[in-house]
Amino acid sequence: MLDIAFVKPALPRSGALVLPLPEGELPAGLARAAEEATGGLLSRALDAAGFKGRKGQSATLWAPVPGLARIVAVGIGKPGELTPEAAEAAGGAIAPLVASEREALLAADALPPALAAHLGFGAMLRSWRFDRYRTTEKEEDKPKLERLAIAASSVPEAKSAFAPMRAIADGVFLTRELVSEPPNVLDPAEFAERCKGLEKLGVEVEIMGPKELKRMGFGAMLGVAQGSAKEPRMVVMQWRGAPRTRKQKPVALIGKGVTFDTGGISIKPAGGMEDMKWDMAGAGAVVGAMAALAGRKAKADVVGLIGLVENMPSGTAQRPGDVVKTYSGQTVEVINTDAEGRLVLADVMWYCQERFDPRCMVDLATLTGAIIVALGHEHAGLFSNDDELAQRVAAAGKGVGEQVWRMPLGEAYDKQIKSDIADMKNVGGRQGGSITAAQFLQRFTNGRPWAHLDIAGTAWSSKDLPVAAKGATAFGVRLLDRLVAEMAEEG
């Protein structure tokens, strides 16, 4: 993992010098010092390259002075208009540009220290990669950047702004790792075991296996699990960070953790089925958010619950037509065994509200292909029975670059999941598929403030993004961290 250090401004003698440059004149400080050290080559080269300092622009000068391998200029737009999110994107753009250097110095001395921290955060998030299973990659093809020193106008201020970001990055990386792991490695038992790792951050972790789930009556979740040779798990994580004088009901986070979704007897087509290893990204985001909150010692009480199963076809698998009894007592006719996420969440959500009496519940799930049809990969779907909570979730997402778009709920949609023989069926037809899935979940909220994020389109990216290389994005970790900060820690 990339090591970030904040240092006093001084030109480096080796490696790369990275200059975040606004439109117009070179800023005072290290950029001007570099201009002088290169005898004016810097500005001449930038002119020749057509570099104007616009966002998204970059230019590289090779061997500009003896010792220094390169100067990389990255555009940050109009002077004084850099937002935290744009700073993170600029930081993200830097990572691949200096990946073949072992060390780089980022000259953020002309920017406010908080923005220097955001630049570092972006670089850190963008440079994470999952290489556990690469054994034959050539040394020269591997990214080498180990240390990014960031020159800041105030080292202590930049450091303290960066401290929570480091904890959040750790949470993001944990999520990305869980989501990236192959399904033969990360089965429900292994996933639960990895949650135990949060204990060292002060999180209480409980794991429940099939016996307990059966005793409690988790009929819907167990119906999904019954076709698999892998045992299901539910993990309950508690972070108690609220000061004794400011105790409130906890915020509850709930995640869908299907470690592999074949569809079950309603089996999916072969093409692209490997993608269904990341059908546990909701649970992954909840675990990463708990790690981030505990890592930065958030002053709030938060519980995280995840339901972990594998959805397989077999002689013991549940059938289309089966009726299962959920933990809430409501019965469900299983029309399609591929609509399994809602069955898992139904039991976990009811249990969560009954045991913890939370002030709100936020669930994350790679729930439907239909949400990708509706929103593509740019927004997650937001569904809520509470306008204020919905607004808070949307604002938190906007603030961290994890955008959500609110979708409707309503009685007419709810009718689509009426069953002829049970309290409901688990699918409502092709039309409005992500909405009827949310209607199903709403029946397990017991009327409590609840928000559901359908992250099927955003949990994984097939292209590089500003602050995430292609692959697992950890969508939701930063949103949840921000939501808790604004909802439960303010004041």
The answer to whether 414 contacts Mn ion (rule: CB under 5 A) is no
Q: Which two tokens stand for residue 193?
A: 């075991």
Q: Which of 109, 301, 310, 338 binds ligand BES (CB under 6 A)?
A: 338
Closest contact distance (angstroms) between CB of 443 and ligand BES is 16
Q: Which two tokens stand for residue 62?
A: 């090779």
Q: How far apart are CA 220 and CA 9, in angstroms?
A: 59
Among 9-17, 285-293, 335-343, 405-413, which window interacts with ligand BES (CB under 6 A)? 335-343
The answer to whether 480 contacts ligand BES (rule: CB under 6 A) is no
Concerning whether 132 is annotated as a catalytic residue, the answer is: no
Total residues contacting ligand BES by CB under 6 A comes to 15
The answer to whether 188 contacts Zn ion (rule: CB under 5 A) is no
**Tally of residues, the chain:** 491
Closest contact distance (angstroms) between CB of 111 and ligand BES is 39
The answer to whether 403 contacts ligand BES (rule: CB under 6 A) is no
The answer to whether 339 contacts ligand BES (rule: CB under 6 A) is yes
Q: Segment 416-435, which members bind ligand BES (CB under 6 A)?
A: 427, 433
Q: Which of 180, 238, 368, 445 binds ligand BES (CB under 6 A)?
A: 368
Among 215-223, 243-251, 339-347, 414-422, which window interacts with Zn ion (CB under 5 A)? 339-347
The answer to whether 347 contacts Mn ion (rule: CB under 5 A) is no
Closest contact distance (angstroms) between CB of 445 and ligand BES is 20
The answer to whether 341 contacts ligand BES (rule: CB under 6 A) is yes
User: Nearer Cβ to ligand BES, position 279 or 333?
Assistant: 279
Identify the active-site residue in 129, 194, 268, 325.
Answer: 268
The answer to whether 340 contacts ligand BES (rule: CB under 6 A) is yes
Q: Which of 82, 456, 468, 483 binds ligand BES (CB under 6 A)?
A: 456
Concerning whether 134 is annotated as a catalytic residue, the answer is: no
Closest contact distance (angstroms) between CB of 340 and Mn ion is 5
Identify the active-site residue in 342, 392, 425, 443.
Answer: 342
Cβ atoms of 153 and 109 closer than 8 Å: yes
Q: How far apart are CA 168 and CA 174, in angstroms?
A: 10
User: Nearer Cβ to Zn ion, position 86 or 281?
Assistant: 281
The answer to whether 338 contacts Mn ion (rule: CB under 5 A) is yes
Closest contact distance (angstroms) between CB of 283 and Mn ion is 14
Q: How far apart are CA 105 and CA 152, in angstroms?
A: 11
Q: What is the 3-state secondary structure (H, E, C) of the chain?
A: CCEEEEECCCCCCCEEEEEEECCCCCCCCHHHHHHHHCCCHHHHHHHHCCCCCCCCCEEEEECCCCCEEEEEEEECCCCCCCCHHHHHHHHHHHHHHCCCCCEEEEECCCCCHHHHHHHHHHHHHHHCCCCCCCCCCCHHHCCCCCEEEEECCCHHHHHHHHHHHHHHHHHHHHHHHHHHCCCCCCCHHHHHHHHHHHHHHCCEEEEECHHHHHHHCCHHHHHHHCCCCCCCEEEEEEEECCCHHHCCCCEEEEEEEEEEECCCCCCCCCCCHHHHHHCCHHHHHHHHHHHHHHHCCCCCEEEEEEEEEEECCCCCCCCCCCEEECCCCCEEECCCCCCCHHHHHHHHHHHHHHHHCCCEEEEEECCCCHHHHHHCCCCEEEEECCHHHHHHHHHHHHHHCCCEEECCCCHHHHHCCCCCCCCEECCCCCCCHHHHHHHHHHCCCCCCCEEEEECCCCCEECCCECCECCEECCCCHHHHHHHHHHHHCCC
242-261 mask for Zn ion (x: CB under 5 A)?
Answer: ----------------x--x
Q: How far apart are CA 322 and CA 342, in angstroms?
A: 15
Q: Segment 278-307, which members bind ligand BES (CB under 6 A)?
A: 279
Alpha-carbon distances of 438 from 69, 246, 362, rounded to whole Å: 54, 33, 12
User: Nearer Cβ to ligand BES, position 170 or 340?
Assistant: 340
Closest contact distance (angstroms) between CB of 369 and ligand BES is 3
Closest contact distance (angstroms) between CB of 428 and ligand BES is 8
The answer to whether 110 contacts ligand BES (rule: CB under 6 A) is no
Residue 353 binding: pick among Zn ion, ligand BES, Mn ion, none (C-beta 5-8 Å cut-off by kind):
none
Q: Give the number of other CB atoms < 10 A from CB of residue 468.
A: 20
Among 77-85, 149-157, 230-238, 337-345, which window interacts with Mn ion (CB under 5 A)? 337-345
Q: What does DSSP say about strands 450-454 and 380-384: parallel, antiparallel, or unpaired?
A: antiparallel
The answer to whether 310 contacts Mn ion (rule: CB under 5 A) is no
The answer to whether 109 contacts Mn ion (rule: CB under 5 A) is no
Q: Segment 275-304, which members bind Zn ion (CB under 5 A)?
A: 279
The answer to whether 414 contacts ligand BES (rule: CB under 6 A) is no
Closest contact distance (angstroms) between CB of 436 and ligand BES is 8
Q: Interface with Zn ion by CB under 5 A: which residues?
A: 258, 261, 279, 341
Q: Interface with ligand BES by CB under 6 A: which residues?
A: 261, 279, 336, 338-341, 366-370, 427, 433, 456
Q: Interface with Mn ion by CB under 5 A: which residues?
A: 261, 338, 340
Active site positions, annotated? 268, 342
